Amino acid sequence: MTFRSKAIEVAQSRLALHLAPPPEKITELYGINTFNEEVMRGLLSPEAYIKISNAIRSGSNIDREVAEEVATAMKSWAISKGATHYTHWFQPLTGTTAEKHDAFFDLSSNGKALEKFKGSALVQQEPDASSFPSGGLRATFEARGYTGWDPSSPAFLMDNGAGGKTLCIPSVFISYTGEALDYKAPLLRAINMLDKAATAVCQYFNRDVSKVTATLGVEQEYFLVDKALYYARPDLVMSSRTVFGHSPARGQQLEDHYFGSISPRVNAFMVDFEFEALKLGIPVRTRHNEVAPGQFECAPTFEEINLAVDHNALLMDLMQKIAEKHNFKVLFHEKPFAGINGSGKHNNWSMSTDTGINLLAPTTKPKENLRFLTFLVNVIKAVHDHADLLRASIASAGNEHRLGANEAPPAIVSVFLGADLTKMLEELVSRGEITVEKGENFYYKLGINRIPNLLRDNTDRNRTSPFAFTGNKFEYRAVGGSANSASPMIVLNSIVAKQLLAFKKELDERLSRGEEKKIAVVEILKQYYLDSKKILFEGNGYSEEWVQEAASRGLSNIATTYEALREYVSPAAIETFESIEVLTRRELHARYEIELENYIKRIQIESRVIGDLALNHVVSTCVKYQFKLAQTARSLTDLEMVDEAAPIKEIIKDISDHVVVIKRLVYEMVESRKRANNIPDSTERARLYTEEVKDYFDKIRYHVDKLELLIDDEDWPLVKYREMLFIK
């Protein structure tokens, strides 16, 4: 019996877990494992509570006494709910979350056991930074970094798997010289900058707006594979994707998986993690099957970005943990299976004011729609001017398989508005001289009154656009399934902030020359629209025509990760980030180095896995099978059944042909890897990994997948696609 057949037997015998639904109502369950504002109000003195609320809302500093009081309250709350340890929970640039647990338990000076958690431990911790990537920052600057409490994201309790709980404190991770070593620190800077810039622009329309919050709703796609089958695929274990595997007879051509019913086992898993997510204050809302077999999606309701990013990272952790219980493995990789859809993480993004206005939602009041158009067109202009940075923000080894690889959003950044909205902007621009008019007449003449109707009728959804307007928000669809959403959100919020600052400057100049406000706004928007029109695209983003058309428009089409990442250190990008104080030149260089190293390591691992599986699993199986065939052929020949032996000999020959090529290609791939590894410059090394090493992957795969069809199913060592995708 092969490892594969044992794994299949185990997987097929599994039953759905029976879960007793929690006795509480969802509304009672929601957030019970978080140290949220309501809990704080109950446990803190009124003074401390006011100070911490202000810190949450405006980022103001927290003094020592308040930190002490919060720490004491947090400790007693956590211990009362079964926590034994606490940790600063942060998001290093490796793309996963990190924690270092410390016990509340301590000894007093006279040796007595006590439970301790000081304000200083809440505010600041020192993880061992040397084990996290820092892209040369540490070498050049300071050997250690620290994590610092982010009060704007509530602390929460996680099961530690052994019956106890850990109090997790969301934190930033920075070096002692102040450089960001994580995703959260620059994200907080970016959303703060966007708040300032957008609030200032709002002032022209609504004087009472004092804060703009960027909002994010993350739709997370993922695959589920039975745990036994997962462990029987060394490529999934080592590189999170299958490097070989012939397409099943039935892939997604029937599209019957989408909105189909969810199997009981999968459903039990979903119900289970959703309850746990709700307890952690993650507002999960929708669940459904995705297009590909074995693929699913989960979408929470949108929240303030910093929270939404934390919640997405936490949700990914949680899903992995809960999946263990259900004997599943969750795959967030962008392309775990060739030939069927990959997984993205659609980032739905908008901005809303403290007066309750969604700045990207048109209204029935024509006057307010000038504000809507202002934000809409500024976002378009920002994307147009910084398309390459947006591309850089989603570049990774996994996403390289999606973007531009004739599936999913193309590597070309473009914006979809919908035909009607585009037409309306065209008309706005083509109106000649605009004059001030009484009342709403001005807006009627410009056609601004028609926007909400347009959008209501406009149900056309462009699923091939990387960045689509969907009625009251933008959906950044090109983000990879395993990415940390902070990466694209740092860029998006920064470039929009920068653009809004430029808009304000231009508007102020015009106003100081005595121009009428609404005319000045319209004139600037007209110009922005003309400047950035070429980024707008309504057609099929997957088509070859678009690639041609985009090239003739002069839009970038950056297919590879190492080229996309280079934009982070371009003079324009450095200027952009430094001018709005989100990332310094040094931080950008550090990020660039880390991402490149990350990329190289991933391709290196994949290459090793491919070599190992090809030679030690596939070729060795083939040789054994050939021996069986040869014995059969000889027996037939002995029986003077020469004609009957002929086709068997042919199969032996076919197998040999593939085996010979595989051996040669693996040898060449290893040689190219050695060459690449000897290059000290990481950009050049990444280039060699992309252009030479990775080039062998599909070539080797072609022959292995052919062999899968030639070898007796009983002997084939690797779990097949149909088994991974359909056994649920």
Q: Which residues in this chain contact ligand ADP in the complex, by CB under 6 A? A: 215-217, 219, 299-302, 348-350, 358, 470, 472-473
CB of 283 to ligand ADP, least distance (A): 8
Pairwise CA distance, residues 385 & 533, whole Å: 11
Minimum distance between the CB of residue 469 and ligand ADP, rounded to whole angstroms? 10
Find how far residue 56's CA is from the centre of its chain.
25
Minimal CA–CA distance to 571: which of 589, 554, 545, 555? 589
Q: If DSSP states are collapsed to H, E and C, what string results for 67-113?
A: HHHHHHHHHHHHHHCCEEEEEEEECECCCCCEECCEECEEECCCCCE
In this structure, which amino acid lies at residue 216?
A: L
Q: Which is nearer to ligand ADP, 284 or 676 (CB)?
A: 284
Instruction: Report which residue type is found at 514.
Output: G
Q: Under DSSP, is residue 383 helix (H, G, I), strand (E, B) or coil? A: helix
347 versus 604: smaller Cβ distance to ligand ADP: 347
Neighbours of 102 (CB within 10 A): 16
Nearer to ligand ADP, 132 or 474 (CB): 474
Using Cβ positions, the residue closest to ligand ADP within the complex turns out to be 217
Phi, psi (degrees; rounded to nearest 5) at 146: -140, 160
**Residue 470 or residue 604: which is nearer to ligand ADP going by CB?**
470
AA letter at 697: F
Tell me the HSE value of 461 on the side-chain side, using a 13 A CA sphere: 4
Give the integer Cα–Cα distance in Å for 524 and 501.
13
Burial class (CB in 10 A: 0-12, 13-18, 19+), 47: exposed
The residue among 350 and 607 lying less far from ligand ADP, judged by its C-beta, is 350
Q: How far is the CB of 272 from ligand ADP (least distance, A)?
A: 21
Smallest distance, Å, CB 346 to ligand ADP? 7
Q: Least CB distance from residue 390 to ligand ADP, whole Å?
A: 17
Query: Do residues 437 and 430 touch, judged by C-beta distance below 8 A?
Result: no
Query: How does DSSP classify residue 248?
Result: P
Q: How far apart are CA 335 and CA 223, in angstroms?
A: 10
Q: How far apart are CA 133 and CA 77, in angstroms?
A: 34
Shortest distance in whole angstroms from residue 205 CB to ligand ADP: 18
- Choose between 33 and 312: whose C-beta lies nearer to ligand ADP: 312
Task: Tell the smallest beta-carbon distance from residue 214 to ligand ADP (Å).
Answer: 8
Q: For the CB of residue 461, give the shortest distance to ligand ADP in the complex, in Å.
A: 8
> Residue 447: is it exposed, middle or buried by C-beta count within 10 angstroms (0-12/13-18/19+)?
middle
Q: Which is nearer to ligand ADP, 214 or 594 (CB)?
A: 214
In the bound state with ligand ADP, the residue whose beta carbon lies nearer, of 371 and 694, is 371
**Assigned token pair, 589:** 């260089």
- Taking the complex as a whole, how short is the minimal distance between the CB of residue 666 and ligand ADP, in angstroms? 44
Complex with ligand ADP: residue 349 or 716, whichever CB lies closer:
349
